Amino acid sequence: MLDRIKRFNWLMFAAMLALVALGTAAIYSAGNARSEEVFHSMWKANLSTALFGLAIYFVLAFFDYRRYVSLLAAPAYLFSLVLLVAVLLVGTSTYGGRRWLWFFQPSEVAKLCVIAALAWIYGSPEPRPWLRRFPGFLAACATIGVPALLILLEPDLGTMLALLPATLAMLFVARVWRRGLLTAVLAAAVLATAVLAAVYEAEKPGVSEDRRAAIMRFVPLRPHQVKRVKIFLFPDEDPHAAGYTLRQAMISIGSGGFSGKGFRRGETNHLKYLPQSISMNDFIFCVYAEEAGFIGSVALLALFGALLAPCVWTAYFAADGRGRLIAIGVSTLVFAHVFVNIAMSVGLVPITGLPLPFISAGRTFLVTVMAGLGVVQSVSIHGREEDR
């Protein structure tokens, strides 16, 4: 027991608690700026959810992950598939997507389940050389592909975009058919660049309607996605309608300045210039950055760094494959969310609906991330001992 407490990674835990605290404050500020009463007490809900997540965190941290991962990974994965199908059939629609099943979003839970399943398969202590080769790659594609497809059907592109780097990192670490993997990554990069270039070419000023249509036939994006890419490429083009969100986001963040405007003093948020429907969720970084300023933003990044460093540390020192893969999977998942969310708020990447871990008011996601970190903590505690 003492051993365990000794090996408990306090930095990771403290960073997580600090992030929960900052998140609750940001939700308080964003929620109180809204006119609807129901959002004013959102921070309380976030806090109680965090407590619930903390309980799960401790349970998962104190038991040996090797026991429960091998026991639960497969059933959890299958159960998440059932939930993903269920949400498509009986889920609740919001903002053009069918993402809710009663009180939670199955796609968030599925992220963790996919990571666990991959860890379970590729981190197995028994040597399975075929897994490192092409067949193993195909197996990974199937494991990731089925839930990914279901998530895309909701549709929830953002979640997909966060899950993909996490699973990719795991496959790299697991040394699964690296040549193919690298090729795939490069191909994806080339494709993304090509799409950007095509949209740029089609939408730049002075392009005829015919030419635009001819180019856009080859772009595999939906109209609203094209629009977002267009806003990313030409942020000043249409500041009134489509570009409004990004423009307001930049103003919120930029007007924070060095030291911020102070807690609950974010004008763009409280004067409702920032679109209200997203200020608590995907664009909460704007609320935070306006009130906390550059100092606060960097502190937030540092906290995420303080959270991620021990995770990578844990992965590096993990004695077995499963622990290592889980630590890498969870940390990459968190990193992908953090990076894409903040990057889109400051106009570095096109706008994608993706929450900022711990800060956004997403309760399912909060519990998911805390659970994931609980497993990583378990790896930190138990993972250095050789399995006896």
Partner 1 sequence: MRSEASISSDLTVLAIGAIFVAGLVALGFRLARVQLVDAAKHSYDGARQSIRTVRTAGPRGRILARDGTVLADNRASVSIAVNPEGFQRRTWNDTVLAISNAVDAVSAAIGLRSTLTAGAISRHVRQQLARPLVAWRDVGDEAIARFAERAGEFPGFSCIETEERVYPEGRLAAHVIGFVGRRDAESVGGEQFNFRDKEMCGREGLEAFYDSYLRGSQGELQVTVDARGFAVEEKTVSEARRGPDLRLSIDVAVQRAVERQLRGERGACAALDPRDGSVLALASAPAYDLNILVPQLSPEINERLFRNARNDYRNRACFETYAPGSTFKTVTALAGLGAGVPPEVSYDCTGVFELGGMRLHCARRWGHGPIDMRHALKESCNTYFCNLGCDIGTNALFSAARAMGLGAKTGIDFPQDSAGVVPSAEYKRISYNLPWYASDLAHAAIGQGQLLVTPLQMARVAGAIGTGYLVRPRLGADAPVERTPLPFPERDLAVVREGMCMVVDGGTGKRAGEGVAAAVAGKTGTAEVGLGATRRKNVWFIAYAPAERPTVAIAMVIENGESGGGTAAPKVNAVLKSIFGEAEELEPRVGVGER
79 binds partner 1 (CB under 8 A): no
Residues 236 and 333 sit within 8 Å (Cβ to Cβ):
no
Residues 361 and 281 sit within 8 Å (Cβ to Cβ):
yes
State which residue, 180 or 254, has the beta carbon closest to partner 1. Answer: 254
State which residue, 46 or 268, has the beta carbon closest to partner 1. Answer: 268
State which residue, 311 or 381, has the beta carbon closest to partner 1. Answer: 311
Among 112, 113, 173, 367, binds partner 1 (CB under 8 A): 173
289 binds partner 1 (CB under 8 A): yes
Q: At a CB cut-off of 8 Å and minimum separation 6, what does 279 contact?
A: 30, 33, 34, 269, 286, 287
Candidates 258, 321, 254, 329; CA nearest to 294 is 258
State which residue, 201 or 267, has the beta carbon closest to partner 1. Answer: 267
Minimum Å distance from CB 315 to partner 1? 5
* Sequence-distant contacts of 301-307: CB under 8 A, at least 24 apart: 301/342, 303/15, 303/18, 303/19, 303/22, 304/15, 304/19, 304/334, 304/335, 304/338, 304/357, 306/11, 306/12, 306/14, 306/15, 307/12, 307/15, 307/16, 307/19, 307/334, 307/373
Minimum Å distance from CB 331 to partner 1? 7
Task: Give whole-number Cα distances, 227 to 78, 155, 158, 278, 345, in Å.
Answer: 36, 17, 16, 18, 16
The CA distance from 6 to 11, in Å, is: 12
The one-letter amino acid code at 9 reads N
| Count of chain residues binding partner 1 (CB under 8 A) | 46
Residues 332 and 15 sit within 8 Å (Cβ to Cβ):
no
Choices 31-39, 193-201, 303-311, 361-369; region in contact with partner 1 by CB under 8 A: 303-311
297 binds partner 1 (CB under 8 A): yes
26 binds partner 1 (CB under 8 A): no
Among 12, 60, 315, 370, binds partner 1 (CB under 8 A): 315
Show the binding pattern over residues 195-234: x = contacts partner 1 (CB under 8 A), - = does not: ----------------------------------------
The continuous run of DSSP H or E covering 94 comes out as strand 92-94
State which residue, 8 or 339, has the beta carbon closest to partner 1. Answer: 339
328 binds partner 1 (CB under 8 A): yes
188 binds partner 1 (CB under 8 A): no
Show the binding pattern over residues 237-276: x = contacts partner 1 (CB under 8 A), - = does not: --xx------xx-xxxxxxxxx--------xx--x-x---
Residue pointed to by tokens 């040597």: 127
Helical H runs in 154-275?
157-173, 178-203, 209-216, 223-233, 244-256, 267-270
Choices 47-55, 196-204, 215-223, 323-331; region in contact with partner 1 by CB under 8 A: 323-331
Residues 29 and 263 sit within 8 Å (Cβ to Cβ):
yes
State which residue, 146 or 251, has the beta carbon closest to partner 1. Answer: 251
State which residue, 240 or 388, has the beta carbon closest to partner 1. Answer: 240
Residues near partner 1 (CB under 8 A): 169, 172-175, 239-240, 247-248, 250-258, 267-268, 271, 273, 289, 293-294, 297-298, 301, 304-305, 308-309, 312, 315-316, 324, 328, 331-332, 335, 338-339, 342-343, 346, 348
